[in-house]
Structure 1
Amino acid sequence: MTDWIGDTFTSDVGWTHLESLVDVGNRMAGSDGERAGLELTRDALAAAGARDARIEAFDIQGWERGDSEIRRGGEPVASGRSACIALPRSPSGEAAGELVDLGYGLPEDFEDGEVAGAVVVVSSTTPDSVDRFVHRREKYYHAVEAGAAAFVFVNHVEGTLPPTGSVGTADDPIGAIPAVGVSKETGSRLIRRYEGDELLVDVDCEIPDATSGNVVAEVGPDTDDYLVASSHVDAHDIAEGAMDNGAGTATIVEVARALAAREDELDTRVRFVGFGAEEVGLVGSSLFAEAVDPERVKAVVNVDSNVFGRTLTLDHHGFDALEATAERVSDRFDHPIALGGELVPHSDHWPFVERGIPGYMVSGETEGRGRGWGHTGADTLDKLESRNLREQAILLTELVVELAADDVNTSRKRGEEIAAALEREGKATGMKITGDWPF
């Protein structure tokens, strides 16, 4: 029967949930807005037909934004939230030093001794000539290790949009040095006018105790083994978080609605999880993954930052069964799906994959590197299309049904296999400096 396809393509359940999430406003981890998003998602999953929908709360290190600026000789040279914003989990305080432009902020850029005591400026992107993407947190901790006084993260996307993104580690949630994000235009101006001058970076923020949570609900038979279909509900406080990750959460709600109507086709239980506190270090998914029996989780389908384009990217992390299942679904629907085999050590699939559990990172296909509008104030609903959400929900519903089949064997990997792949792909160095190396 294919009636479910028409029902999904004409459903407004997912899109309505997306509108509800973006209308919350600030969904920063630990905030009242995140709690509202979790409650909306719990209720949406229950209304979609999932059973036992609930929120499993946990404590986190909170972080609340104040005003930040960069000054020269007491005069502001970048101030106001349209020009200069703190990176979440930056410490509060002031730090001064000579402004040093490190370009892309590649690991080797921190080795020449100019960084000690400096205010370092790095770009949010990585050149195509480098065979891996160097993450913001890796650049930050290279700066910390080299003795920098402060860290300035410059958006590479035009449009006067300062970027956000957390610092800190699991063991030390608050970073070691003040960190701010500035727009491409502000960064260019700072470098042109003040490189070599002493600048002061001033971050004001509050660091309270806070509570987050994971939304959990289920469909399908009551089997011991289960699939996880997940997204993260939280978003950065400077934007609606439409793409990142209202879109992913809306998609799994739509998938839950479709699967509730196809329960008799499922051989394996499906557990839907809307994770909290992803943007500040994968906190919710890490706690959840630590508590599972790896032998019981058949696979993870994690959706993060989709809908802005029609083509899904499924990073399958080298798990053959996941690659083959995605290819079958793409062929069956004659719909392109971009596949990636390298490890992606970011987003909520990762705490599972690092334990050898087969997992997809599901996102939207992008041109070039970086997040585009993501992690800026321009991550808004107007950039997304309901058609894309519906099409992607159809593909992912079929993907989950396929994975749930008894004849699909999703073999696990050993920890040393994951570690060796990270070393081979050049990602181990960055994970070790950011405290994310689990092996």
Structure 2
Amino acid sequence: MKKIVFLLSCLAIVASAFAQKDDSLFIKNLSDFILTKGQAYENLRHLTKQIGQRLSGSAGMYKAEAWGLKTMKEAGADNAYLQACMVPHWVRGGKDEATTQSGNGNKKSLDVLALGNSLGSSKPVTAKVIEVKNFDELETRRNDVKDKIVFYNYPFNQTFIKTFEAYGDAVQYRGAGASRAAKYGAQAVIVRSMSESTDNIPHTGSLRYDTAYAKIPAVAVGLQDANWLSDALKKGSISVTLSTHGKFFPDTVGHNVIGELKGSEFPAEYITVGGHLDSWDPAEGAHDDGAGVVQTIEVLRAFKALGYKPKRTLRFVLFANEENGLRGGTKYAEEAQAKGEKHIFSLESDEGGFTPRGFGLTGSDAQFQKLLSWQPLLTRYGASEMSRGGGGSDIGPLNRTQGTPTAGLSPDSQRYFDYHHARNDVFEAVNKRELELSVVNMAALIYLVDKYGF
């Protein structure tokens, strides 16, 4: 009996070795194709330079959807279609401006951008500025806030090596700062941009109004100007005249763009890979999330070009409205639930087109161990760091409604917040080699999940 068990163990080891070799060869073929015949970079050039900003409800959104559908078909999708959803339609409405005036009459213009979903000032707002470092200080000084402009000067924590941790720590001031200040009678807010860059470019992004309080104007300010304002306030009183123009139109119809490769053995099991098609309006949305969009399409294109027949149905999704509503990801999960679809895995790229470092996974211990077992196959292509917790905003609803394990591509994050939601997020900021290496790792992971299940 012991001999039989021993022989079976040996056979299993040999079979595993052959499978690893087979997987390694196929992933190498994927890599060679993507790195020598890839179209991701040129697709990104077209998306950014020919279409540009793609904020929900804008003309750019509709141009991008048409381009996405066409490009999915050209990449070889067995089926490509649009999935309709209602999306918000916020517009900036004009040039955002802020000018300071000190007690001696000196004036200085600040580089500012209205926060997404904020309402305009209707007419210029002029008020003295009160600086607070955090919400605790706001509460302590709440009696000083009435009729002032609150300046939230909360910098990224430089001790966090992973910059997304610094962003997660600071972003509360962008999201809730306006309403927290309006509670005590503030006229407007200025928020230090969600960045650790050395330049002076302001970074927009969504806020969330609490309907219990007035919806006051809110802007982000460039970091150099934030530092200047903080220093000036130490020397004396500063007034700011602020002018913004943001407004909402009624919700309009947007679309998720979906391409499919039909499963050959388990067509009713779905694996989703995607990025979001919308972007903020100041720039071209190259890193956020043009990179994830073209990477998604390139995974489809590479599989088709190499004649890969997936066991499970692979869905390639360009999600609508991630930036200021998450309507696309929500709609995708709702329809999957309504149709009784079985989604076994989902992967998102929404952290920029930088050098791949690994993947983060939200799933069970057993699923994480399975991911770790594939680490040797991915390490040579850069994805050596596997971590617990990951996914993306667009695929989060799948996890919440079905318990679908979600993973997020984790590129090197050190430069991401130099560009995030800012006017310098342009095609020229993306490196071709880095963009393509991330595609290799995404394709490899999707292949392994499809082959072995999850």
- TM-score bracket, normalised by the shorter chain, equals 0.7 to 0.9
2:331 counterpart residue number? 287
More helix by share: 2
Q: Which residue does 1:339 correspond to in 2? A: 386
Q: Distance in 2 between matches of 1:21 and 1:218?
A: 21
Q: Which amino acid aligns with 1:384?
A: V
Q: What displacement does 1:126 show?
A: 3.3
Counterpart AA for 2:87: I
Given the alignment, which residue of 121, 140, 144 partners 2:151?
Answer: 121
1:145 maps to what in 2? 180
**If the length of structure 2 is used for normalisation, what is the TM-score?**
0.79
What is the aligned partner in structure 2 of residue 219 from structure 1?
261
Q: 1:357 aligns with which of 404, 427, 438?
A: 404
Tell me, in whole angstroms, the C-alpha distance in 1 between the residues paired with 2:214 and 2:295: 33
Q: Distance in 2 between matches of 1:124 and 1:55?
A: 41
Structure 2 unaligned spans of 5+:
1-24
> How many corresponding residue pairs?
398
2:131–2:230: 8 Å Cα contact kept in structure 1?
A: yes
- The letter for the 2-side match of 1:251 is Q
1:225-244 aligned within 5 A: 225-244=269-288
**1:190 is matched with which residue?**
229
Q: Does 1:201 align with 2:242?
A: yes
Pick which of 86-95 and 269-278 moved more.
86-95
Distance in 1 between residues matched to 2:106 and 2:117, nearest whole Å: 25
Q: Distance in 2 between matches of 1:343 and 1:384?
A: 23
Is the radius of gyration larger for structure 1 or structure 2? Answer: 2
Query: How has the CA–CA distance of structure 1 residues 284 and 124 changed in structure 2, closer, same or farther, with 3 Å as cutoff?
Result: farther
Secondary structure of the 1:226 match is: strand
SS in 1 for 2:169: coil
Tell me the distance in 1 between the aligned counterparts of 2:100 and 2:437.
51
Cα RMSD after superposing both structures: 3.0
Which letter maps to 2:261? Answer: V
Deviates more, 1:117-126 or 1:224-233: 117-126
In structure 2, C-alpha distance between the alignment counterparts of 1:108 and 1:204, rounded to whole Å:
30
Residue 408 (str. 1) matches residue 453 (str. 2):
yes
Match of 2:140, SS? coil
Q: Helix, strand or coil: the match of 1:158?
A: coil
Match of 1:424 in 2: none
Question: What SS does the corresponding residue of 2:408 show, helix, strand or coil?
Answer: strand
- Other-structure match for 1:414: none
- Pairwise CA distance, 1:194: 4.4
SS in 1 for 2:129: strand
Contact 1:329 1:395 in 2 (8 A): no
Q: What SS is found at the alignment partner of 2:284?
A: coil
Q: How many Å separate the matches in 2 of 1:386 and 1:249?
A: 14
CA spacing shift, 1:372–1:101, aligned 2, 3 Å? same
State which of 74, 82, 86 in structure 2 corresponds to 1:47: 74
Once structures 1 and 2 are overlaid, which stretch shifts more, 358-367 or 91-100? 91-100
Q: Hey, what does 2:292 align to over in structure 1?
A: 248
Counterpart for residue 57 of structure 1: 84
1:111 is matched with which residue? Answer: 139
Where does residue 432 of structure 1 map in the other structure? none
Q: 1:99 aligns with which of 118, 123, 129?
A: 129
CA deviation after TM superposition for structure 1 residue 53, in Å: 1.2
Q: Report the AA paired with residue 399 of structure 2.
A: V
2:296 partner amino acid: I
Going from structure 1 to structure 2, the CA distance change for 1:193 and 1:233 (only over 3 Å counts) comes to: same
List per-residue Cα deviations over 1:395-421 (Å, max 9, x = no partner).
11110011123x433xxxxxxxxxxxx
Tell me by how many angstroms 1:108 deviates: 3.0
- In structure 2, the partner of 1:11 is 37
Q: Does 1:312 align with 2:362?
A: no
Report the residue type matching 1:92 in the other structure.
G
Q: Distance in 1 between matches of 2:419 and 2:397?
A: 26
Cα distance in 1 for partners of 2:370, 2:47 equals 31
Q: d(CA) in 2 for partners of 1:89 and 1:236?
A: 11
For the 8 Å contact 1:18–1:246, the answer to whether it is kept is yes
Whole-Å separation in 2 of the counterparts to 1:201 and 1:340: 43
Once residues 138 and 289 of structure 1 are traced to their aligned partners in structure 2, the CA distance between those partners, rounded to angstroms, is: 29
- Report what 2:394 is aligned to: 348
1:390 aligns to what?
Answer: 436
Task: Give SS of 1:78's match.
Answer: strand
Could you give the per-residue CA deviations for residues 178-207 of structure 1, whole angstroms, max 9, x where no partner exists? Answer: 111111112222223346544343211242
Secondary structure of the 1:176 match is coil
Counterpart residue number, 2:171: 136
TM-score by length of 1: 0.81
Contact 2:117 2:208 in 1 (8 A): yes
Residue matched to 2:109: 78
Displacement of 1:386 in angstroms is 1.8
- Return the letter of the residue paired with 2:228: R
SS in 2 for 1:347: coil
Q: Is the 8 A contact 1:78 1:84 kept in 2?
A: no
CA spacing shift, 1:371–1:202, aligned 2, 3 Å: same
Write the deviation string for residues 151-177 of structure 1: whole angstroms up to 9, x where unpaired. 2122342212011111237x97x9932
Give, as a single letter, the amino acid of the residue that structure 2 aligns with 1:367: Q
Contact 2:175 2:206 in 1 (8 A): no
SS of the aligned residue for 1:312 comes to strand
